[in-house]
């Protein structure tokens, strides 16, 4: 019997009767129920039994045909611009180091003349690859030669190139659930069968990952171990190491997408999984769009030697090469030693917003929400109680001028249960934050006060 044959709220047979029917041990049934619950497919009512949880069908990555959410995620709104934007994870332009970067831009023109605009190497401007190699060593203790680095036109292109290199139609790819829609689209566009593994508070659910590894041989797992999008969860070091161990044992790649590792607010140092990798199992994709400037469109990926030629070819057929001029300017910016001060400055600035944001959020704790403090990143993942519909909250907030993102936008399949909001503090000004929360409080209070029966959750 497939999950689709069951109705929402339908009671499953008892553990005892099921173990009898299937002629298996009680413990086996208990474990199976536990796994279904971890995947969000059923829920248990103490003393009563286990019930089917029919998932929300309206949104989710499967249903993004209209594209509205993608637009919204990119900071472009389908209808009108909201008053307060907790939706887009767009860095604030006033934090961009325009003065210093302008210096580099002009210096490159004076130094290189027309060569600054000729075809750069396909794999990227060599001096920039040197600077990146140094950046990796200084920041993440990753020791990598310039030949293992490919410059891309932003992080998304890294995903596109890896998809072209590794995915043939019907290949299996594992992703975290929820996950980043841009990655999902890149894999889906290549015809991949995409399987979501639930996230927990300290990273991916390793038990479910292991159970899927018995059934599938994925080409790779796509993961964001530090400040994951959308949950802003960081993997524990144990889970990072366990993931790497499994990749070696089962021979799949880890495609590690890193866009915010550098943005910690509590002086802790986070390491990517790539830092532990001694066997070229991790393909590390770095975007500078959020921690530097989106408009620079420079990112990179680290390339295992055995797929280098294929990656190189995919890059060529994607856009020949990334802008040599911006590569040269970014290289000079890094060489001029501006990075450390810059990153300290944005940490300080975003921390101010984060502190205010979380203190405002804490005030709403009695309105059916819960969250874990990420101590970094640019968003907070707010879980909603079962009797509060994320769709309702999202829509009501938008009507009052507050943009949020309902969590199910990031869900990988229709069977996963996600009832949450992603709230980001990167775009709003400091003084807009309380205004946004007054709207959210308003909406949540109204829902709380109205007759619950008129609101079917997940409808």
- Chain positions contacting a second copy, by CB under 8 A: 67, 70-71, 74-76, 90-96, 98, 101-102, 105-106, 109, 113-122, 153-154, 156-157, 159-160, 164, 169, 182, 185-186, 189, 191, 289, 293-297, 309, 312-314, 316-326
Structure-block tokens of residue 345: 């400055």
2/170 with CB nearer a second copy: 170
323/404 with CB nearer a second copy: 323
54/164 with CB nearer a second copy: 164
29/186 with CB nearer a second copy: 186
Phi and psi at residue 282, to the nearest 5°: -105, 125
Q: In Å, what is the CA distance from 315 to each residue of 20, 318, 329, 343, 444?
A: 57, 5, 21, 29, 47
Cβ atoms of 61 and 409 within 8 Å: the answer is yes
296/447 with CB nearer a second copy: 296
For the bound state, the minimum distance from the C-beta of residue 78 to a second copy, rounded and expressed in Å, comes to: 13
For the bound state, the minimum distance from the C-beta of residue 420 to a second copy, rounded and expressed in Å, comes to: 23
328/422 with CB nearer a second copy: 328
Could you tell me where the DSSP H helices lie in 124-279? 126-140, 155-166, 181-189, 206-215, 237-250
Q: Could you tell me which residues are beta bridge partners of residue 47?
A: none
For the bound state, the minimum distance from the C-beta of residue 333 to a second copy, rounded and expressed in Å, comes to: 12
For the bound state, the minimum distance from the C-beta of residue 161 to a second copy, rounded and expressed in Å, comes to: 10
Cβ atoms of 440 and 396 within 8 Å: the answer is no
For the bound state, the minimum distance from the C-beta of residue 167 to a second copy, rounded and expressed in Å, comes to: 11
Burial of 442 (0-12, 13-18, 19+ CB in 10 A): middle
212/312 with CB nearer a second copy: 312
Cβ atoms of 419 and 410 within 8 Å: the answer is no
155/407 with CB nearer a second copy: 155
For the bound state, the minimum distance from the C-beta of residue 189 to a second copy, rounded and expressed in Å, comes to: 6
For the bound state, the minimum distance from the C-beta of residue 109 to a second copy, rounded and expressed in Å, comes to: 5
411/427 with CB nearer a second copy: 427
47/67 with CB nearer a second copy: 67
For the bound state, the minimum distance from the C-beta of residue 162 to a second copy, rounded and expressed in Å, comes to: 12
Cβ atoms of 332 and 188 within 8 Å: the answer is no
Q: What is the distance between the alpha carbons of residues 380 and 386, in angstroms, rounded to a whole number? A: 19
User: C-alpha angle with apex 117: 115 to 122, nearest 5 degrees?
Assistant: 95
Cβ atoms of 201 and 372 within 8 Å: the answer is yes
Cβ atoms of 116 and 108 within 8 Å: the answer is yes
For the bound state, the minimum distance from the C-beta of residue 156 to a second copy, rounded and expressed in Å, comes to: 5
DSSP-based three-state secondary structure for 290? coil
For the bound state, the minimum distance from the C-beta of residue 398 to a second copy, rounded and expressed in Å, comes to: 20
Q: In Å, what is the CA distance from 400 to each residue of 80, 84, 85, 107, 441?
A: 12, 9, 12, 48, 11
Of the candidates 147, 103, 145, the residue with the CA atom closest to the CA atom of residue 121: 147
Residue ranges with strand state E in 38-153 = 42-45, 49-52, 84-85, 149-152
């Amino acid at each position: 019997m497939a999950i689709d044959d069951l109705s929402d709220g339908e009671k499953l047979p008892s553990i005892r009767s099921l173990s009898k029917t299937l002629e298996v041990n009680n413990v086996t049934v208990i474990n199976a129920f536990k796994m279904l619950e971890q995947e969000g497919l059923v829920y248990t009512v103490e003393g009563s039994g286990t019930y089917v949880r029919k998932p929300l069908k309206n949104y989710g990555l499967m249903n993004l045909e209209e594209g509205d959410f993608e637009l919204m995620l990119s900071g472009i709104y389908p209808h009108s611009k909201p008053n307060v934007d907790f939706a887009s994870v767009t860095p604030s332009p006033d934090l961009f180091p325009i003065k210093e970067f302008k210096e580099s831009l002009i210096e490159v023109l004076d130094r290189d003349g027309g060569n600054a605009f000729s075809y750069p190497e396909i794999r990227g401007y060599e001096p920039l690859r040197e600077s990146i190699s140094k950046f990796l060593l200084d920041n993440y203790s990753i020791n990598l030669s310039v030949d293992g680095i490919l410059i891309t036109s932003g992080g998304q292109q890294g995903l596109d190139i890896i998809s072209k290199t590794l995915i043939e139609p019907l290949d299996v790819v594992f992703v975290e659930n929820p996950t980043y829609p841009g990655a999902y689209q890149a894999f889906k566009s290549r015809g991949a069968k995409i399987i979501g593994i639930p996230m927990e508070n300290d990273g991916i659910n390793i038990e479910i990952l292991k159970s899927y590894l018995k059934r599938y041989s994925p080409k790779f797992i796509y993961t964001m171990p530090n400040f994951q999008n959308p949950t802003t969860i960081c993997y524990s070091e144990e889970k990072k190491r366990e993931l790497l161990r499994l990749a070696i044992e089962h021979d799949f790649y880890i495609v590690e997408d890193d866009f915010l590792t550098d943005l910690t607010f509590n002086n802790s140092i986070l390491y990517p999984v790539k830092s532990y990798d001694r066997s070229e199992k991790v393909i590390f994709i770095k975007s500078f769009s959020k921690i530097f400037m989106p408009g620079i469109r420079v990112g990179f990926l680290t390339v295992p030697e055995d797929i280098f030629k294929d990656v190189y070819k995919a890059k060529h057929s994607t856009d020949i090469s990334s802008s040599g001029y911006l590569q040269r300017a970014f290289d000079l910016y890094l060489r001029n030693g501006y990075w450390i001060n810059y990153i300290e400055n944005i940490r300080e600035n975003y921390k101010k917003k984060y502190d205010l944001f979380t203190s405002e959020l804490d005030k709403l704790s009695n309105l059916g929400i819960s969250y874990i403090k990420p101590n970094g990143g640019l968003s907070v993942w707010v879980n909603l109680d079962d009797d509060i519909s994320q769709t309702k909250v999202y829509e009501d907030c938008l009507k009052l001028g507050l943009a949020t993102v309902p969590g199910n936008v990031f869900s990988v399949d229709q069977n996963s249960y996600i009832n949450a909001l992603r709230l980001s503090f990167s775009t709003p000004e400091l003084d807009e934050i309380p205004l946004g929360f007054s709207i959210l409080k308003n909406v949540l209070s109204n829902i709380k006060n109205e007759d619950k029966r008129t609101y079917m959750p997940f409808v």
